[in-house]
Structure 1
Amino acid sequence: MGRSARDWDESDVRVRPNRRGSRPRTKDRPAHADAVIGFVIAVDRGRWTTLVDEGGEERTVVAMRARELGRTSIVVGDRVGLVGDVSGRADTLARIVRVEERESVLRRTADDTDPIERVVVANADQLVIVSALANPEPRPRLIDRCLVAAYDAELDPLLVLTKADLEPAGPFLAQYAPLDVPCVVTSVLSPGSEGLAALRERLAGKVSVLVGHSGVGKSTLVNALVPDADRATGVVNDVTGRGRHTSTSAVALRLPEGGWVIDTPGIRSFGLAHVDPTRIVEHFPELAEGTANCPRGCTHDEPDCALDDWVAQGHAGPNGAQRLDSLRRLLRTRTAQSGD
């Protein structure tokens, strides 16, 4: 006759004897107080290349992600804790056991409806948006999206316009004048060119991430900035007007003048599903105060928006109307297509 569940007690439970060397599992991760800190400069198929500086001596250490980190995102620019074989010798692997707190995070989504954020780089100081003035044609909406991403990540934006020998920069730059975005215009990227010298000055001592769609000359720019970078360059298709992806993964390269430049693969879209519109308004301080009188849920691009009166009354300064137009243009990027 079978026994009911209420007839069982703890004496009926078989306890497996402890095996030699086994330890009870715990959710507490080891502190790894002895971990050395590495700076991630490249990621390739589950292997992270890091730069370790101990006592002024640098060495490159390749590492894998420790099991206890699970699927924790680790990207170029991250500072990570390393244990195990951190000698940097050939055919050795260290383990990444933690990711240090990030000072900044540049993120994107596949499109404006995708809830999954993708971290592009960590701990950058400025976002360098590279666009050609011709061949291929500039894509203002993509540039606007990159500006929004920079504001959201609290990175300083820098606009770099290449191929100025094919098209004058003035007409295109006019639409960004109200945003006060610094810009560098380049044509011939020879070592002594004026544009390249100006760009070097803007990048010196900072961690800068370069973004731009394929064919704009981003890899050519990197090769001019870092002589031994040897980044592959491509050409623009005469039929489609699009460039071919030449950079396949992000990589950090040290600049001769100090600082780092992070080259990223060419992009064709930049989703902003993760961006809170209020964070964009915060980067327009002369307008942000005026939103206090807006109706609840105001998108700042509707008839009842209080910003129109704020600007009309002169609270936003002499360029208030142009700044408001620019703000609304950026806000609309969240509801437009994530590509062109």
Structure 2
Amino acid sequence: MDRHVGAVIARDWKHLDEDDVRVRPGRGSRPRTRQRPAHEDAVSGLVVAVDRGRYRVLVRQSKRKEILVTAMRARELGRKGVVVGDQVALVGDVSGQPDALARVVRVEPRTSVLRRTADDTEDVERIVVANADQLVIVTALADPEPRTGMIDRCLVAARDAGMDALLCLTKADLASPEKLLGIYGPLEVPAFSTRRGGDLKELRELLTDRMSVLVGHSGVGKSTLVNALVPDAGRAVGRVNAVTGRGRHTSSSALALELPEGGWIIDTPGVRSFGLAHIPPEDLILGFPDLVEGATRCPSHCSHLEETCALDAWVAEGHTSPARLESLRRLLTNRGDEES
């Protein structure tokens, strides 16, 4: 700028008005803050169902009185998801009336998270349920035929989530459970077989005072089992396709139900695959406790697929069945196999 011109502008600035000066907008007098309301008056509840952005939350008002409150997620939660099994804090209209709507303002720390992916190459994790302490793997002995690969995947997922596992074999009136019990009995995984109209007393004892989530293929009888355990549940029951051998999805979303004896069961939609993309390949073997000790003999950084892998000798010595090693290697080589 010319020095003379600059001197004129400096001398005459006081003759300018606001129309002659470009004013930048200010930030306002109220500073932004990251602090959020404490919501000290919030009430606690358990999420028992999720449906299209609305949450059904069980709120206990006393030992003998509880109500179901419909709620939406508050904006302050950001991207944090809310799933069945979550313990949450609610504000707003918590009366439970038909037109009432509360807000979920806080999700309490979770004790466990059961995750899966659509397949073994999917990057997006899906949280199945939160805060469950027992995974009940429901497998039919026939119609449809049992798939040990699905059982093994669920055992890996349970171990990753820090949950106990229970194997529930349905339709024992159609086929014997002996073969599967022989495979998984040595792993010390509790197992129970059921038949239509059979006594569920032993199973009830294994579920009492626990938060258990039922997972299995479509058509294995989860809904039938739930209706027997909780008579007023009213879960829809489907049939297995005679051509494909697959069941029809009769449960469209997870639902938590309180057991008469105490405790909860969470029924989940039937799945055709249980992806484990969220679990590193080197950690998959931790879901095979019968192979872990044998893996200590392997060379450093062994992928358990090489000819030098010591697991072949471990199996040959009779420590576990060849089928178990085959299942692990199937996960390692083709974890996207939906039929495994």
Q: What is the TM-score of this pair, normalised by structure 1?
A: 0.84
Aligned mates of 1:256, 1:152 — CA distance in 2: 30
Aligned mates of 1:274, 1:211 — CA distance in 2: 18
Instruction: Compute the displacement of 1:297 (Å).
Output: 2.6
Instruction: Compute the displacement of 1:114 (Å).
Output: 0.8
Pick from 60, 84, 88 the counterpart of residue 76 of structure 1. 84
Partner residue, 1:188: 196
Contact kept, 8 Å, 2:86 with 2:110, in 1: the verdict is yes
Map residues 1-340 of structure 1 onto 2, 5 A cutoff.
Answer: 12-15=22-25, 23-56=30-63, 57-189=65-197, 193-194=198-199, 196-282=200-286, 288=292, 291=295, 294-305=298-309, 320-322=319-321, 326=324, 329-330=327-328, 332-334=330-332, 335-336=334-335, 337-340=337-340
Q: What is the TM-score of this pair, normalised by structure 2?
A: 0.84
Instruction: Compute the displacement of 1:169 (Å).
Output: 1.2
Unpaired runs of at least 5, structure 2: 2-8, 10-20
Percent of residue pairs bearing the same amino acid type: 62
Aligned mates of 2:285, 2:331 — CA distance in 1: 13
Which sits farther off after the overlay, 145-154 or 255-264? Answer: 145-154
Structure 2 letter corresponding to 1:15? P
Structure 2 letter corresponding to 1:59? I
Aligned mates of 1:91, 1:311 — CA distance in 2: 62
Structure 1 letter corresponding to 2:228? A
Once the two structures are superposed, what CA deviation does each residue of 1:103-142 show, in whole Å capped at 9, x if it has no partner? 0110000111111100000000111111111111112211
Unpaired runs of at least 5, structure 1: 2-6
Contact kept, 8 Å, 2:156 with 2:286, in 1: the verdict is no
Which sits farther off after the overlay, 100-109 or 238-247? Answer: 238-247
SS of match in other structure, 2:168: strand
**Aligned-residue CA RMSD in angstroms?**
2.7
Partner residue, 2:6: none
Q: How many residues matched?
A: 319
Instruction: Compute the displacement of 1:214 (Å).
Output: 1.1
SS of match in other structure, 2:192: strand
Once the two structures are superposed, what CA deviation does each residue of 1:50-92 show, in whole Å capped at 9, x if it has no partner? 1112443422111100012223211000111111222222211
- Find the structure with the greater CA-based Rg: 2
Aligned mates of 2:208, 2:151 — CA distance in 1: 23
Instruction: Compute the displacement of 1:185 (Å).
Output: 0.7
Contact kept, 8 Å, 2:208 with 2:263, in 1: the verdict is yes
SS of match in other structure, 1:333: helix
Distance of aligned partners of 1:328 and 1:245 in 2 relative to their CA distance in 1, 3 Å threshold: same
Aligned mates of 1:339, 1:276 — CA distance in 2: 21
Which sits farther off after the overlay, 104-113 or 237-246? Answer: 237-246
Distance of aligned partners of 1:328 and 1:301 in 2 relative to their CA distance in 1, 3 Å threshold: farther
Partner residue, 1:4: none
